[in-house]
């Protein structure tokens, strides 16, 4: 499994975002994957018929995992299966590369080929899909502004313009209808390894803001 990292999440307002953006631009490094300082993310999330991942997130279960397929900036040459694992405020992410054909097959529930795939993560997803009924649930789109700080391997992101596919599985199609979620939330995320440098603590500090367990997946599933 990947290295466990600390994670903070805050729901902030537009003015907060302007402040954080200005501070981080002054002290951080640019993300080489960003275009004009940001990129578009599309994810397809998976859950069981009883919505186990959704319920565990809402209930605040300490130890949980969720699967998603993700690509960036409508680039289908770089698609990844990801499994996010959480233990309290620690998180880890395991990844495996997918072709568009593999990704769409998984989304459609055509999974027999996964049993013999060289990727351990793909085989583990196959087992979960077979034993728990795990299936594709919904598409989530959003815009991300990333900031990198080498000390502590810190990554600060601003996520906004979150949209839901309302249960659609046609996630490889850039024309799939997407609907903005209510209230247009803006999410500040801070991730780091062993320590969080004081300069970053100061840069992301906002009065009267506390870490909160916001989930883009859960917010988009409220439209089911």
Q: Is residue 99 within 8 Å of 105, Cβ to Cβ?
A: no
- When comparing pLDDT for 223 and 122, which is higher? 122
pLDDT at 25: 96
- Residue 191 to residue 86: CA distance in whole angstroms: 13
The answer, yes or no, to whether residue 12 has pLDDT greater than 70, is yes
pLDDT tens profile 82-98: 999 888 778 889 999 99
Q: What is the mean pLDDT of the chain?
A: 90
Q: Is residue 79 within 8 Å of 70, Cβ to Cβ?
A: yes
Q: Any bridge partners for residue 187, and if so which? A: 11, 159
pLDDT at 53: 85
Whole-number percent of the chain with pLDDT over 70:
94
- When comparing pLDDT for 10 and 199, which is higher? 199
Q: Any bridge partners for residue 158, and if so which? A: 145, 188
Give residues with Cβ within 8 angstroms of 107, minimum separation 6.
44, 69, 136, 169, 171
The answer, yes or no, to whether residue 81 has pLDDT greater than 60, is yes
pLDDT tens profile 31-67: 988 989 999 999 999 999 998 988 887 776 778 899 9
- Low-confidence winner among 79-83, 105-109, 140-144, 214-218 (lowest mean pLDDT): 214-218
pLDDT tens profile 108-153: 999 999 999 999 999 999 999 999 999 999 999 999 999 999 998 9
The answer, yes or no, to whether residue 78 has pLDDT greater than 80, is yes
Q: What is the DSSP letter of 75?
A: -
């Amino acid at each position: 499994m990947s290295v466990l990292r600390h994670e903070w999440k805050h729901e902030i307002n537009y003015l907060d975002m302007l402040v954080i953006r200005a501070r981080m631009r002054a002290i951080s490094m640019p993300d080489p994957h960003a275009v004009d300082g940001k990129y578009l993310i599309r994810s397809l999330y998976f859950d069981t018929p009883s919505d186990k991942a959704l319920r565990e997130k809402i209930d605040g279960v300490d130890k949980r995992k969720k699967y998603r397929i993700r690509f960036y900036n409508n680039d289908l040459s770089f698609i990844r299966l990801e499994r996010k694992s959480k233990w309290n405020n620690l998180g880890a992410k395991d990844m495996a590369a997918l072709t568009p054909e593999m990704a769409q097959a998984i989304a459609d529930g055509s999974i027999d080929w996964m049993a013999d795939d060289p990727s351990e993560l793909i085989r583990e997803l196959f087992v979960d899909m077979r034993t728990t009924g795990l299936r594709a649930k919904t598409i989530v789109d959003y815009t991300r502004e990333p900031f990198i700080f080498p000390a502590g391997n810190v990554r600060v992101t601003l996520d906004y313009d979150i949209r839901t596919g309302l249960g659609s599985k046609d996630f490889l199609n850039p024309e799939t209808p997407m609907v903005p979620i209510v209230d247009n939330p803006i999410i500040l995320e801070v991730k780091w390894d062993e320590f969080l440098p004081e300069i970053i603590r100061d840069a992301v500090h906002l009065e009267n803001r506390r870490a909160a367990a916001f989930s883009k997946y859960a917010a988009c599933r409220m439209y089911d």
